Amino acid sequence: MPPSSASAAGSFAIGGDLPVHRLGFGAMRLKRRTEDPTPDEREAAYAVLRRAVELGVTLIDTAPLYGASEDLIGEAFPTYPEGVHVVTKVGIVHAGGAFVHRGRPEQIREDCERSLRRLHLDVIPLSQLHDVDPDVPIEESVGGLAELQREGKVRHIGLSNVDVDQLCRAQAVASIASVQNRFSLAQRRSTDVLDVCADEGIAFLPWQPLAHDGLTPEGDRALADAATRLGATTRQVALAWVLGRAPVVVAIPGTGSLDHLEENVAAAGLVLTPEERTALDAALDAA
C-alpha cells in the first residue's frame, strides 16, 4: 500500500506563493446543509479534520454552501497548524431548499466577512467565486473579490464552475490563482479548462475527483485491472489518475469518514505507470 501521507503527491504553490500539498481535503461532507450539528456530529467532524492534518494535508476547502462546515473548521482549529491553509468561497448559499446566487459585490463582501468570522481568520488565503451568478456579469463579481484583495481581506482569487471564456473574462479583471471545476475519470468536460490552467500555471482543484460511476465496461475493467496490479482500491486509482493529469492539479476529495480519509490520503503515494495511464485513457477514449 502507498505511504499514508498527503505530501507524497508533491506540492504546488497556488498563486505562486501559497504552497500546499497536492492532496487536499474537501470539507463539503462534514455535515452538509446542517447549521446545528449534534455534539457527537461535531466531535466526529473535528476528528476527521485533525486526522487530515496529521496525515499531511495542508489545504482544506470549504464554502458557506456547505452548511456548518466553516463553523466546524473554525472550532476544530482555534489556531491553525503552521502551513495549513483553509480556503473558502463566495457567491452562492443554500436557503429555503434551493441554491441562491449572491454575485453582486456587496453580497460577496458579506459572504467574505462572514467566512472570516467563522474561520477565525484575518485574511482568507484563497477566496473562490463558487458559481457565476446568471444575473451578474462575472467581471462585476470578480471585481468585488479584487476590492477585498486590495483591502487585505483576501490573498488570492479563484473561480469555480467556469468555462474557458469565463476564465478569460475574469482574468481581464484580476489575477486568477485557481479554478475549481468538476473533473474525474468519469467526468472530463472541463478538460479544456484544465489544459488552460496547466499552460498558465493556475491551480486546478477538481471537485468530485473520486467519481468513476458511469464509466463504460471497458473503463471499469481498466480501472479494476490497475487496482489489482497496484494492490489499491479503484477509488485510489481514480484519484491517482486525476493527480497525474497535470502538476497544477490539487485534488480535494471530501469525506466525513476516518476510514475513507485514510484511503484517500494513501492514494497520494500511488503513481500510475505510463502503460497504466495509457490503458485507462484508451478505455476512456473508447467511451
Residue 25: CA count within 13 A, CB half-sphere: 35
SS3 176: strand
Contact predicate 26/61, CB 8 Å: yes
Quote the CA–CA distance of 185 and 159 in Å, as a whole number.
22
Active site residue 66: yes
Residue with cell string 477565525: 120
Contacts of 85 (CB under 8 A, 6+ apart): 18, 20, 58, 59, 60, 125, 126
| 8 A C-beta contact, residue 124 and residue 142 | no
Backbone angles phi, psi at 233, to 5 degrees: -90, 160
Pairing mode, strands 18-21 and 25-26: unpaired
Active-site annotation holder among 12, 25, 66, 207: 66
Q: What contacts 38, CB < 8 A, 6 or more positions away?
A: none
- Distance, in Å, from the CA atom of 52 to the CA atom of 59, rounded to the nearest integer, reads 10
| CA-based nearest residue to 124, from 114, 134, 133 | 114
Interatomic CA distance for residues 231 and 229, integer angstroms:
6
Number of other residues whose CB lies within 10 A of the CB of residue 236? 24
Q: Which residues are catalytic?
A: 66
